[in-house]
Chain A
Amino acid sequence: MKTVRLAMRMLVRDWRAGELTVLVAALVLAVASMGTVGFFAERVKTALTSQASLLLGADVMISSDRPLPGSFADEARARGLDALPVIRFNSMVHKPGSDAAPVLANVKAVPPGYPLRGEITLADAARPEGTRATGSPPRGEAWPDQRLAQRLGLVPGDRLTVGESTLVVGPAIQQEPEVATGLLSSGPRLLIHADDLAATNLLQPGNRATWRLLVAEPPGRRTLAGFVSQASADLKPGQRLESVRDVQPEVRQTLDRAEQFLGLAALVAVILSAVAVALTASRYLRRHLDTAAMLRCLGASEGRALALFVAQFVVLGLAASAVGVALALGGQALLVSLLASLTQAELPPPSVVPGAAAFATGVLLLFGFALPPLMALASVPPLRVLRRDLPRPKPSALVAYALGAGVIALLIGWQAQDVTTGAIMVGGVGGLIVVAAIAAWGLIVVLKRLPQRGITWRFGLANLRRRPLASSLQVGALALGLMALLLLTVVRGDLMTNWRASLPPDAPNHFVINVLPDQVDGVRQAMRDIGGPGTDLYPMVRGRLTAVNGAALDTRKYDNPRSRRLAEREFNLSFADELPSTNRVTSGTFWNKGAAADAGLSMEDGIAASLSLKLGDDLTFDIAGTPVSARITSLRKVDWDSFRPNFFTLFPPSALDGMPTSYIGAVRLPEGPASGAWVSALLEQYPNVLAIDVGDVIRQVQSIMDQVSRAVEFVFLFTLLGGLLVLQAAIAATQDERRFDAAILRTIGASSRQLSAAQIAEFLVLGALAGVLAAAFATATGWVLADRVFRIPYSATGWVWLWGVAGGALVVTLAGWIGTRDTARQPPLAVIRQLG
């Protein structure tokens, strides 16, 4: 007990002396960054798991791109289960008599009783959480979601045109089940009564719709499992059964990946914090040698001395970790609000587990990196009281490294869940820091060779090269944080600008799809009237790939989920007499005009590679129940940037004769109201046609990107803070040297301005170096992304350099100034006597 009391008194004294500030800040940062990401990921995942049935709107859902046979619903009802059919599709909707351009909406037609699980929440001006709807839309009524209501200026009682029918607008929906499917699709939605669907006349052949059967088990029945196994056995290709357990595998996978990425970004901050903890702990060791020696001299055993120091650190670790967890609670709330519209689902409150995990991180870090110096401290020989020149005790290097590496490995394994990913990520980050450090070292050497006039720069640079390893590592760590932020802000903006600039100025900005054969002439004429004579419509036939070389296609053989989805989806097949101008044959030969039906088919080379298909393979498609087989006779490269309709699979026209065909085209509409008027006029005449505004889609994608990158930026801010903490710890570790230097300079007549200038010069150079490296890495990454991934020309603006260098210099100088402003305040004689 006495030990604890003494330990607390010593702790309070050290705290007042400011000896522990950086240590505590590092622990708080580590816990806060781990906790923020942990809490956030846990909340979203819990929402997906515990609310899956609510999100699904049912216990089990069967879905298909084609109408489902009635047998599934019959089977469910025969087992006493509730079953509801739901149809989703896209349609243009508009408010008759209004100037607002028609909007592409995702329409869901539902029968009474929808949803089977969860509820529809209606917007209510008086209650931000909304009110619960008592049913689903009655016949003749359409319920828009808030986005659609806002886009079209809809209020209850307005009229809304959907296809060939006009419905009355009901209340606006704040939240509805089945949203998780749209975690990344944020288009406007509309809910209508199933019986109103026929009158819209929108379900034409070729229209992409999804037919779903929602199934739920009423209380007391135990027949769901039997239904699931029966239905699973009955599933035909293209039909999927999703249960609460495997709801939205893509969403879950995306989320897992996001969690891993954010977690590892947070981990970088933790590792930097660990470096700061190690630096401060070793300074603590140096500064407490005399205290420890005196304690031992006065009769404290090594064990008691260790207990004294450990007790202080336990209290410190617990307090700092608690503060970190509190900050993490705020951080995750901020993250949730940054990603608000992506995680539309109601999130459960933060749970204890991630908080405890973050807390444990703090404690683990403290002991992994502070215990070896503490043990060394306790073993100081008491003779040091008499003989200051005795060699200092040093922590056993082996124990220190093993313990530190063990802690970091533990954290990585825990965060990355699989060791390879973790090792790659951390290895990559570590490699980047090392590369940056080597580059920084090179720059420091080069700077030394430049002619230097004046004490300010000479002295600042001398301080950097005096500790080349430490300086280089600091530059490396800071550069990493800065680079991440530059990539997410400036380079991302540059890429977007470059991509826009790479589009031809006359690129079509609207896609017109879902045009029926008898509408082709009229729609084509309307498009040519506004878009010029080159504008055209292309046929499209939907079919599912069922067999390759005579063997039924088993999509499970594709490991890559994207390949599996591509194979499961209906293909958009088209036919053409000659090779489209934006395509190029890479192998095989394309047929000539008027080719016979057996001239084979042509595939885009990318999808062929994804699906492991090659020239000469025999493919069978199921087109509206008719099998159509053909051999791959050519592979094509397609210029997708042309913004013209392109197809993965082309047939000669005769091969698809008589198949249900719809048409698709692209047109450039003039900017401004004329475009809205043209779309309105087109829909007036052809209500089933969809006109998709490319700009709208881009804006939607961009708004998602904006939100996601803000969230990632937020997490990388922790990394930058980690770098600054390492800087602070390094300053603290060299504080004695700095005070000594300042005293000497003072003695030979330097003014306080000259002293400050020299210190500021040091940090300006340090920050600018980090900025230069960050800008260089960010530019290089931007170039690689542009050239290899997006395949657009990349020209960086000067902003990345300006922000990098000026921002880096400013932030680091400020942090450095805060750390060193006290060095010149003590009387020179006292300092020289104490340290000289």
Chain B
Amino acid sequence: MLRAAGLTKTVVSGDAPLTILDGVTFDIAPGDSVAIVGASGSGKTTLLGLLAGLDQPSEGEVWVDGQALSGLDEDARAAMRQRLLGFVFQSFQLLPALTALENVMLPLELAGADDATAKAREWLTRVGLAKRTTHYPKQLSGGEQQRVAIARAFAGDPKLLMADEPTGNLDGATGAEIAELMFRLNHEHGTTLVLVTHDTALASRCTRRLSLAAGRLVADEATH
């Protein structure tokens, strides 16, 4: 489903090049749930960005569903994301100008779905926000915003869900609820999940754990 080979990311900072990721290689099979863990600055988010085609590696290659990303331009990568990927971010990243419903409709409309409104409404109902559809992000609590983000991520019916610290900005109880919701939906839809997290409890719910340290993959272990 997802394959990384020799992924390296170097940025020039001042005069010296700084290596953020260094030759990271792994395969993720369809239906797997994988946690990427590591200390702050170990390159987790950079890796997730490369896997999603949001950024380009200095060296190495990413294949998503058999498609090499290096051969795609920005628009083609966007089209790939629209077709295959869903995202959940630490700080939710909802569009402030749109209502909850409109935010969830976005991926459906981008894909040209006819019944975007109905589907988005249905997704908001599934995440327990049937009564908050016309609210704007700033009128919702953090947990509610993350529910909208999850609904938005699943609405496009992705094969692959990427989550960057999805509970990082939430208090313990809310974070647990959100994790529960995310894993339940993931299970129901058979989605492949790639999760970046600090949270060991969250990481332990995944079937596999990739550990990064200073840009290198230092451990690749099954958790169950």
What CA separation (Å) do A833 and B94 show in the bound complex?
A: 14
Which listed residue (B49, B52, B74, B109) contacts A454, Cβ 8 A?
Answer: B109
The answer to whether A836 and B89 touch (CB under 8 A), given A458-B102, A746-B78, is yes
What CA separation (Å) do A751 and B80 show in the bound complex?
A: 10
Q: Is B156 an interface residue (CB 8 A)?
A: yes
Of A331-339, A361-369, A515-523, A823-831, the segment with at least 4 beta carbons within 8 Å of chain B is: A823-831
Q: Which of B61-107 contact A (CB under 8 A)?
A: 74-75, 78-83, 85, 87, 89, 91, 93-98, 102, 105-107
List 12 additional contacts besides A749-B85, A749-B156, A753-B75; criterion CB under 8 Å. A455-B105, A462-B95, A462-B102, A463-B97, A741-B95, A748-B106, A748-B110, A748-B156, A749-B80, A749-B107, A749-B110, A827-B56
Q: Is B147 an interface residue (CB 8 A)?
A: no
Which listed residue (A454, A737, A753, A832) contacts B93, Cβ 8 A?
Answer: A832
Among B80, B105, B106, find the residue whose CB has the most chain A CB atoms closer than 10 A.
B106
Closest A residue, CB atoms, query B85 = A749
Interchain Cβ contacts under 8 Å between A and B, 17 examples: A455-B106, A459-B97, A462-B95, A465-B97, A746-B74, A746-B78, A747-B54, A748-B110, A748-B152, A748-B156, A749-B85, A749-B111, A750-B82, A751-B75, A752-B78, A829-B49, A836-B91
What CA separation (Å) do A748 and B95 show in the bound complex?
A: 12
Which listed residue (B54, B75, B83) contacts A828, Cβ 8 A?
Answer: B54
Q: Is A754 an interface residue (CB 8 A)?
A: yes
Closest 8 CB pairs of A and B: A749-B82, A466-B97, A462-B97, A829-B54, A829-B49, A749-B81, A455-B109, A829-B55
Which listed residue (A455, A752, A754, A829) contacts B74, Cβ 8 A?
Answer: A752
CB atoms of B95 and A749 under 8 A apart? no
Which listed residue (B45, B55, B95) contacts A744, Cβ 8 A?
Answer: B95
Chain A residues with CB below 8 A from B80, complex form: 749
CB atoms of A747 and B52 under 8 A apart? yes
| A250-281 to B contact mask, C-beta < 8 Å, 1/0 | 00000000000000000000000000000000
Among A458, A827, A829, A836, find the residue whose CB has the most chain B CB atoms closer than 10 A.
A829
A828 to chain B, nearest CB (A): 5
Q: Is A356 an interface residue (CB 8 A)?
A: no
Number of B residues whose C-beta is below 8 Å from A? 33
CB atoms of A747 and B74 under 8 A apart? no
The number of chain A residues touching the other chain, given as a range, is: 20 to 34
What CA separation (Å) do A624 and B106 show in the bound complex?
A: 90
Chain B residues with CB below 8 A from A827, complex form: 54-56
Chain B residues with CB below 8 A from A458, complex form: 98, 102, 105, 109
Closest A residue, CB atoms, query B75 = A751
What CA separation (Å) do A754 and B109 show in the bound complex?
A: 11
What CA separation (Å) do A754 and B75 show in the bound complex?
A: 10
CB atoms of B97 and A745 under 8 A apart? no
Which listed residue (A741, A750, A836) contacts B78, Cβ 8 A?
Answer: A750
CB atoms of A748 and B81 under 8 A apart? yes
Chain A residues with CB below 8 A from B94, complex form: 744
What CA separation (Å) do A836 and B152 show in the bound complex?
A: 18
Q: Which of A78-114 contact B (CB under 8 A)?
A: none
Q: Which of A702-761 contact B (CB under 8 A)?
A: 737, 741, 744-754
B40 to chain A, nearest CB (A): 14
Q: Which of A422-461 contact B (CB under 8 A)?
A: 454-455, 458-459
Which listed residue (A741, A751, A828) contacts B97, Cβ 8 A?
Answer: A741
Closest A residue, CB atoms, query B152 = A748
The answer to whether A455 and B110 touch (CB under 8 A), given A462-B102, A744-B95, is yes
CB atoms of A751 and B79 under 8 A apart? yes
CB atoms of A748 and B107 under 8 A apart? yes
The answer to whether A754 and B54 touch (CB under 8 A), given A466-B96, A749-B81, A749-B156, is no
Chain B residues with CB below 8 A from A747, complex form: 52, 54, 81, 87, 93
What CA separation (Å) do A238 and B80 show in the bound complex?
A: 91
What CA separation (Å) do A750 and B78 show in the bound complex?
A: 6
What CA separation (Å) do A455 and B93 show in the bound complex?
A: 18
CB atoms of A749 and B78 under 8 A apart? yes
Chain A residues with CB below 8 A from B106, complex form: 455, 745, 748
Chain B residues with CB below 8 A from A466, complex form: 96-97
Chain A residues with CB below 8 A from B78, complex form: 746, 749-752
Chain A residues with CB below 8 A from B83, complex form: 749
| B163-197 to A contact mask, C-beta < 8 Å, 1/0 | 00000000000000000000000000000000000
B104 to chain A, nearest CB (A): 11
Chain A residues with CB below 8 A from B152, complex form: 748
What CA separation (Å) do A827 and B75 show in the bound complex?
A: 12
Chain A residues with CB below 8 A from B95, complex form: 462, 741, 744-745
What CA separation (Å) do A744 and B52 show in the bound complex?
A: 13
Closest B residue, CB atoms, query A461 = B97
What CA separation (Å) do A296 and B109 show in the bound complex?
A: 49
Q: Which of A795-834 contact B (CB under 8 A)?
A: 827-830, 832-833
Among B54, B80, B81, B89, find the residue whose CB has the most chain A CB atoms closer than 10 A.
B54
Chain A residues with CB below 8 A from B79, complex form: 749, 751
What CA separation (Å) do A465 and B97 show in the bound complex?
A: 8
What CA separation (Å) do A454 and B112 show in the bound complex?
A: 8
What CA separation (Å) do A833 and B203 show in the bound complex?
A: 23
A458 to chain B, nearest CB (A): 6
Chain B residues with CB below 8 A from A751, complex form: 75, 78-79
The answer to whether A748 and B55 touch (CB under 8 A), given A458-B102, A462-B98, A832-B93, is no
Closest A residue, CB atoms, query B98 = A462
What CA separation (Å) do A403 and B52 show in the bound complex?
A: 51
Chain B residues with CB below 8 A from A754, complex form: 110
B86 to chain A, nearest CB (A): 8
Which listed residue (A459, A462, A752, A836) contacts B75, Cβ 8 A?
Answer: A752
Closest B residue, CB atoms, query A464 = B97
What CA separation (Å) do A830 and B52 show in the bound complex?
A: 13
CB atoms of B81 and A830 under 8 A apart? no
B205 to chain A, nearest CB (A): 24
What CA separation (Å) do A462 and B109 show in the bound complex?
A: 15
Q: Which of B91-141 contact A (CB under 8 A)?
A: 91, 93-98, 102, 105-107, 109-111
Chain A residues with CB below 8 A from B55, complex form: 827, 829-830
What CA separation (Å) do A832 and B93 show in the bound complex?
A: 8
Chain B residues with CB below 8 A from A454, complex form: 109
B21 to chain A, nearest CB (A): 13
| A14-52 to B contact mask, C-beta < 8 Å, 1/0 | 000000000000000000000000000000000000000
A771 to chain B, nearest CB (A): 23
A175 to chain B, nearest CB (A): 63
What CA separation (Å) do A750 and B152 show in the bound complex?
A: 14
What CA separation (Å) do A459 and B52 show in the bound complex?
A: 24
B159 to chain A, nearest CB (A): 13
Chain A residues with CB below 8 A from B82, complex form: 748-750
What CA separation (Å) do A830 and B95 show in the bound complex?
A: 17
Chain B residues with CB below 8 A from A463, complex form: 97
B166 to chain A, nearest CB (A): 14
Chain B residues with CB below 8 A from A745, complex form: 95, 106, 110
A826 to chain B, nearest CB (A): 10
| B137-162 to A contact mask, C-beta < 8 Å, 1/0 | 00000000000000010001000000
Chain B residues with CB below 8 A from A462, complex form: 95, 97-98, 102
Among A454, A463, A748, find the residue whose CB has the most chain B CB atoms closer than 10 A.
A748
Chain B residues with CB below 8 A from A752, complex form: 74-75, 78
Closest A residue, CB atoms, query B111 = A749
Chain B residues with CB below 8 A from A753, complex form: 75
What CA separation (Å) do A455 and B45 show in the bound complex?
A: 29
What CA separation (Å) do A7 and B164 show in the bound complex?
A: 41
CB atoms of A750 and B97 under 8 A apart? no
B142 to chain A, nearest CB (A): 14
Closest A residue, CB atoms, query B83 = A749
Chain A residues with CB below 8 A from B96, complex form: 466, 737
A372 to chain B, nearest CB (A): 27
Q: Which of A453-507 contact B (CB under 8 A)?
A: 454-455, 458-459, 462-463, 465-466
What CA separation (Å) do A827 and B77 show in the bound complex?
A: 12
Q: Which of A234-260 contact B (CB under 8 A)?
A: none
